[in-house]
Structure 1
Amino acid sequence: MKQLIAIIAICTLLSDGFTQEPTIWRGPSRDGHYPETGLLKQWPAGGPEIIWSLTDLGQGHSSAIVDQGFVYTTGMISDMGYLFKLDQKGKLVYKIEYGPEFTESFYGTRGTPTIVGDKIYLLSGLGKLYCFDNETGDILWTKDLFKDFDGSIIQWGMNETPVVDGKVLYITPGGKKNNLVALNRHTGDLIWSSPGNGELTAYCTPLLFEHNGRKLLATHSESHLMGFDATTGKMLWKQHQPNEWSVHPNTPIYDEGGLFYLSGYGQGGGMLELSPDGNSAKLKWKH
């Protein structure tokens, strides 16, 4: 049975009418926490009002993201991936075909677009990284994680949302030499490359965070949680965390020197305590 992406717009139900518009997956702190106040504590009887809905977006697993009054998502139609931009009334602004998408098990588009001003960034399930012009939808540059960085396709397709900080974009090809890379987000040029632990990527969007004034990255490979210096790409530490299918889609969460991580398939999760300089991490607890 074909599965359709559906976007349903609901009333915001804020007491003061003010809403935050995050532009990256999992919000501004990349932790899934929505900091707005004045939210209702329970839905009204019968649920929230449906303002509009749209179902002609193809197949896929991408979330919708809202930026500056527009809604963005992706979908696969006849094996091709499309980027959709809608206004907040559900009117289609553009529908851009960007290339072939993942057609094996759980087929369809994967990662959520990242919106940064006049540019949109997207990774396809087949490892193609795209930069689009936000206004026109034109493709400005592309990188192939397999051909350009010796990455390898993983069983259920590449599933990652590009992480952007200033002029830098971070992405995980999963190659033995180019395991994690930093690119110039305006041109796609390589800034640095790290071999990491030399393992395949594991469906995880990296966490970029600041620890005692130092910018760090944390992400999963097929059997490890790893920490990197975000400026140089140097791998600082790793924590063994395998599971049966090498699937680790949960982005870690950082709070007050602790890094929380979670895996499925019987492995559970734990917390690492980072050293003050971030150069090392020790296991605090695991369940």
Structure 2
Amino acid sequence: MRKGQSSLCRLAAGLSLLSPLCLAEDTSWTGWRGDDRSARLPDFKVPDPWPDSPESVWTTEVGTGYSTPLIIDDRVFQHARKGADEVLWCLDRDTGKPVWRKSWPVRFTPGRGGERHGPGPKSTPSFADGRVFTLSIDGTLRAWSAADGKPLWKRDFREHFDEAHPYWGTATSPIVDGDRLFAHTGSCEDGALFCLDPKTGKDLWVRTEEANCYSSPLVETIDGVRQLVEFNHDGLCGIDVSTGELLWKHNFPHRGNNQNTPTPIRFENTFIVGGENRGMFAIRVSRTDDAWSAEEVWQHRDTSLDMSSPVLGNGQVFGFSHFKTGQMFSLDPESGEVIWLGDPRAGENGQFLAIPGHVLALTDDGRLRILKNGDPKQKPSVVRTYRLADGDTWTAPALVGRDLLIKAGEKLTLWRFPSGL
């Protein structure tokens, strides 16, 4: 049992592996961009000084795909592809050795222009209450027992749609909020947001007004109302988690090949995101009595997000623009003013994690840059650059405690930082 787990956790582990009682703040990475989808780790202990290199603990071949690994106590879960099958791995966190493995056939041919990204999976699983939920490249949702890999239920959304995924395949990640599981499926022309019972997979409500896209939603409480904030095919909107009612919306439609892919970030009651070739924008959400409004605070085309999601770190928004053949940037969340631009030709994609006073930036060439941003109004500086892979690092990393998981190509590697302050 890993250091930091309580006696209550150890007791629960004796009764049921991966009981929800065992989850401590520093022992889990339960889904896309972490437990709250912010990619922020305020409790990370920053090394002083940063090492010449983190320690490489183990490397395991798991298969292709862009799914982020999950870390649940002493287990790692990885959704990947081996040949004609998708695979869900459960690995030992200390050794990388398999605890169990489940596979199932999934046929998928990438749409034109997406061939080099392969047949997935691209969606990141979600963990809740002892279950792992996977969303395949073809739009099929499955629930598994985290303890032993037993299949619990499956939803094939082709019962609703001729095609249950957008043109380049499913990339959105499912999300669990209490006793509700959300997944947006269907094509770019015909889709639906499903609210399901995570225990059974049965519908609680279905919203059919918006088509599917590639972005993953988040769940937020705004003015006391719990809502799903989603960047779908039509734009950015807030949906009541209890009823599926549309609360507010900002039109920003997916146009042609310029898809809506990044996950929004929240700054106070403002949501910031962008779309390919269409720049960045910020939407402030408010309510007067029962009337909701979504006001555009700023918008510009100085930078533009493609497949990379931004992160909020120490008062700045960090992102990876596809302009200038790939360029990292930071901007002021209140005004949208660009504070810093990194070197051009930095790559095709970047993934970010925010820790105290720093941002970790992983580019698709396998380099991890440690950006120091101590002042919200000043340009960050690169304090370390690590080569963690030879390339093909399109997958977002997972960071728990001192452990950083990097998936590159078919390999998953656990890197470990020294103890911080």
Relative to structure 1, the CA distance from residue 241 to residue 42 in structure 2 (aligned partners, 3 Å threshold; closer, same or farther) is farther
- In structure 2, the residue matched to 1:236 is 247
C-alpha separation in 1, matches of 2:201 and 2:163: 16
Matched to 1:237, the amino acid is W
Relative to structure 1, the CA distance from residue 255 to residue 151 in structure 2 (aligned partners, 3 Å threshold; closer, same or farther) is farther
C-alpha separation in 1, matches of 2:178 and 2:214: 24
Q: Return the offset for 1:153.
A: 2.5
Contact 2:66–2:123 (8 Å) recurs in 1: yes
Relative to structure 1, the CA distance from residue 177 to residue 215 in structure 2 (aligned partners, 3 Å threshold; closer, same or farther) is farther
Contact 1:252–1:260 (8 Å) recurs in 2: yes
Map 1:123-134 onto structure 2 (within 5 A): 123-134=135-146
Q: Once the two structures are superposed, what CA deviation does each residue of 1:3-61 show, in whole Å capped at 9, x if it has no partner?
A: xxxxxxxxxxxxxxx9442212212221111122422265312x111011112x12111
Matched to 1:273, the amino acid is R
C-alpha separation in 2, matches of 1:102 and 1:177: 19
Relative to structure 1, the CA distance from residue 103 to residue 151 in structure 2 (aligned partners, 3 Å threshold; closer, same or farther) is closer
Deviates more, 1:270-279 or 1:74-83: 270-279
Q: Return the offset for 1:99.
A: 3.0
Contact 1:150–1:177 (8 Å) recurs in 2: no
Deviates more, 1:233-242 or 1:72-81: 233-242
Map 1:234-273 onto structure 2 (within 5 A): 234-242=245-253, 243-264=255-276, 266-273=277-284
- In structure 1, the residue matched to 2:55 is 49
C-alpha separation in 2, matches of 1:137 and 1:234: 35
1:212 aligns with 2:223: yes
Using the size of structure 1 for normalisation, the TM-score is: 0.85
Map 1:99-248 onto structure 2 (within 5 A): 99-104=105-110, 105=115, 106-107=117-118, 108-148=120-160, 152-174=164-186, 179-197=192-210, 199=211, 201-242=212-253, 243-248=255-260
Q: Return the offset for 1:148.
A: 4.0
Contact 1:210–1:216 (8 Å) recurs in 2: yes
2:100 pairs with 77, 94, 100, which one?
Answer: 94
Matched to 2:70, the amino acid is I
- In structure 1, the residue matched to 2:88 is 83
Relative to structure 1, the CA distance from residue 238 to residue 41 in structure 2 (aligned partners, 3 Å threshold; closer, same or farther) is farther
Map 1:65-76 onto structure 2 (within 5 A): 65-76=70-81
C-alpha separation in 1, matches of 2:169 and 2:49: 38
Runs of 5+ in structure 2 lacking a partner? 1-24, 301-421
Matched to 1:245, the amino acid is N
1:21 aligns with 2:28: yes
Identical columns (%): 28
Contact 2:27–2:72 (8 Å) recurs in 1: no
SS in 2 for 1:146: helix
C-alpha separation in 1, matches of 2:194 and 2:54: 42
Relative to structure 1, the CA distance from residue 20 to residue 42 in structure 2 (aligned partners, 3 Å threshold; closer, same or farther) is farther
Deviates more, 1:122-131 or 1:221-230: 221-230
C-alpha separation in 1, matches of 2:296 and 2:134: 34
C-alpha separation in 2, matches of 1:274 and 1:41: 39
Q: Return the offset for 1:146.
A: 2.5
Matched to 2:154, the amino acid is T
1:62 aligns with 2:67: yes
C-alpha separation in 2, matches of 1:79 and 1:190: 30
Contact 1:101–1:124 (8 Å) recurs in 2: no
- In structure 1, the residue matched to 2:353 is none
Q: Which has the higher contact order (CA 8 A, sep 6+)?
A: 2
- In structure 1, the residue matched to 2:46 is 39
CA radius of gyration, larger in: 2
Q: Return the offset for 1:250.
A: 1.0
Q: Return the offset for 1:117.
A: 2.8
Contact 2:79–2:134 (8 Å) recurs in 1: no
Higher helix share: 2
Q: Once the two structures are superposed, what CA deviation does each residue of 1:154-205 show, in whole Å capped at 9, x if it has no partner?
A: 11101122110111100102477862110000001100111233x2x11111
